[in-house]
Every structure is written in C-alpha cells, then in structure tokens.
Amino acid sequence: MKKVKRKVGKYEVGRTIGEGTFAKVKSAKNTETGENVAMKVMTKSTILEHRMVEQIKREISIMKIVRHPNIVRLQEVLASQTKIYIILEFVMGGELYDKIVQQGKLSETESRRYFQQLIDAVAHCHSKGVYHRDLKPENLLLDAGGNLKVSDFGLSALSQQGVCLLHTTCGTPNYVAPEVLSNRGYDGAAADVWSCGVILYVLMAGCLPFEEVDLPTLYKRINASEFTCPFWFPAEVKTLIHKILDPNPKTRIRIEEIRKDPWFRKNYVSVKPRGDNEVNLEDVRAVFDDIQDKYVVEQSEDTYGRPLIMNAFEMITLSQGLNLSALFERRQDYVKRQTRFVSRKPARVIISSIEAVAKSMGLKVHSRNYKMRLEGLSVDKAGQFAVVLEVFEVAPSLFMVDVRKAAGDTLEYHKFYKNLCAKLESIIWRPAEAVPNSGLLR
C-alpha cells in the first residue's frame, strides 16, 4: 500500500537515522534541488521544558560561524508551530567510531590523515573563538570520499573576547582533559587539544589510553596522565602523544606547534576554510523569536497502520553504498552503534516478541505503531539507557528491524544488542541459511 510522504517546507522527509534525548535526525531530500540532506528535528515544548533555548541557539549560531571542509555544514534553520528543523549536510560514510570498532586499529598513514583533518577543523573553530568540548570518534563523521567531518556542537562554547576560562564540566569522561575535571576553570583550546590526543591514540591503538570501570579511578589516571603506548607506535608518535597528553595545560603542546611536528607534516595537505566571512544569524533569531511568517508547512505522513516501506534511496544510505548485503549480514565480532536484523515473521509478531524480551530484561516499553522505545538505567545506575527500534518492510514478507542507541554508553549498547539478538533468535532470519544463489541480494 502506498505511503504518503511527509514534507517540511521544500524538504521530503525520510527515515530516522539518529536519535538522542532531545532530537531526532532524519534523512531528507530538497525537492527543489534534489540534494540529500540530514534534518535534525527538535520539539519546541521539550526545549522550553528543559530550558535549553540558549544552548540550542548557541549550537546553531556556532555551526553557522564555523564553515570548514572538515566540519559538517549547517545549511538553514526552519520552524513550524511546534518544531525546529536544522538542515545539515548529509554525511553518508558513518561515524569514525564504527570504523575503529570494525578494524580494531587503523594504519599509521590513515590515522595521520584523520588526525590532520581533525586538527585543521579544530584550529578553524579556535580561530573563530569556538571550543568544541566533546571531541570523540562518535562525533567525527566520514563523507563518501573518506574525509573527516566534525559534528555535534551541542556542548560547544563561544568566547566573546578572545581566549577566556571556561567553567562548565562537560564532555565524555575518557576524552576529557584533567583541568576540566578539576572545576577550577580551563582554557577551551588546550582542553580540545587533549581530546585530539586521545583520539589519535585510539586511532592507532584501537583502544582508549584511559579506561577504568569506576570514575574515581579513571579520573585519577587522567589527572596523572597515566597511560602506555603500544609497542607498534613509532617513536615520533609516542613523543607527540606525550606532548599532547600533558596534564599541565600551560605546558601542553598547542595546535600551531602540532602543525609544525615532522610526523604530522608528512603528506600534509592543508585545506582552505569555506568562504562567507559575513555570517547571517537572522534565521536563528527568527526561529526563536517565533516570527509567524518564518513558519514552514508541515505535512503529516499516513502509514495506514502498517510498517513503513523503505525506498531505494533509504536502503542505499542505510547500507552506506550499493552493496545491500550490509543490510542483512552481521558479523558476530562487530556491532555498530546503529544496528539491524531481518525477519520473515509478521510485523505484529516481531513487535510482540521484542516487547516480551525487553520486559524480561527489565526495560520499560513505549510502543506506537511499528516503532518502540526501550528505557532503563545504565549498568552503573548513573544515567539512562534507551534504545529505539523501528520495523520497516523491505520486500513482501520480509521486514527489517532498525535498532538505534538513544541514550547511554555505546559499549553498553553493543552488549545489549548481542543479548537482544540472542533472545530473539527464533524470529531472526539469516540469509546465510537460505538457498544458495537465490538472487535475493543481487
């Protein structure tokens, strides 16, 4: 049965490709130009309820200020009566995190290339008085050409008068500089450099330099910069990382010095920031000042009480290429943050089976049509753990269940997903068990 597409202004809205506590990211298409974009959707009432107006305004303004080839580009901001829509460059290569999980560690050449692009992007941010404060592989995306794109400026700070001390403790603990944990004020530029050093280590080692099961021990190791480089690290890389992971921010190497480092400069090709020196923030002000004539028309989609049918573009973007086997194959030793499995069981059976398993795991279940949200506490009871599942029809009598982490630790999600699949074994269909050369994936 035909599905009525949802539209927001000139954009045709597709499937959800990411989800967080306060926003969803959907694939979308500009019907005027045919360009594929990412649409970040936030509900106004939620923003007001959590007093996040200034934070969201800052995030949007910062993304308009930092225009660089290695930073995800913000194209425009729209608003309806109830929602805010941030239109972003569509980056289809996935997260750098996923690549590290898949390969274990990257080669020296590849690690250096990503590190060079990261440093270029961060240097540009700092030149504009912007400090990211949450640099980690999950916030580094890869485009179709394998180039790095820094994303998620939700925790960023914008300096009003050059370099100043920041006081908000934020970021992901394993990547956070020791001075950020001290609550005594810190230099945002030096803190970002530390995070870049941790990322370089992760790229080349395939593991974190600072990792402990409890936060007090982790903080102690970070404060002492207590880590060991693997034996395969070249001497010049070890030297550079030790200069970056200096617990004293005053003696820690700066970006301009990193750019002069011989190891860094090998095969280095600098990129020029994008133009548009004058940044227009009028659309940002309009969205948050509720100017009526800036509202866009929002048309609802009708699912006819059945799972959404995934179109060709959505299948391609989901599999990150034309090889659709990525949709159905799942290696046991590699689980990405966004995961999926297929089933030949009826959609209603799939939903009821997941609901029963989730409840047996102590999770709360919120279900609507063919979409579910599972919620519970994280393993350490310190925060929320949440997962979103959605059922899609990809062929007659063949359904795909898309599973996404919405809140909580990524590694915890990996364990959850494997456990979930083990408990749902009776409904999961594995193409490897099908008749050879059936032609399904050709």
- Give phi and psi for 315, each to the nearest 5: -65, -40
Contact 157, 188 (CB under 8 A): yes
Helix (H, G, I), strand (E, B) or coil at 181: helix
Q: What angle do the packed helices 108-127 and 188-205 form, to 10 degrees?
A: 170
Residue spans of alpha helices (H) in 294-382: 312-319, 325-328, 347-360
**Does the annotation count 134 as an active-site position?**
yes
CA-CA distances (angstroms) from residue 339 to 26, 122, 372, 421? 16, 30, 15, 11
Pairing between β-strand 384-395 and β-strand 308-309 as defined by DSSP bridges: parallel
Token digits of residue 259: 């750019």
8 A C-beta contact, residue 285 and residue 294: no
Residue 236: phi and psi, rounded to 5, are: -70, -30
Give me the residues paired with residue 428 across strands: none
Measured CA angle at 179 (ends 150, 156), to 5 deg: 30
Tell me which DSSP letter residue 260 carries: T
Residue 402 contacts residue 340 (beta carbons within 8 Å): yes
How far from chain centre, in Å, is Cα 315? 19
Which residue in 98, 120, 134, 192 is the catalytic one?
Answer: 134
Enumerate the active-site residues: 134
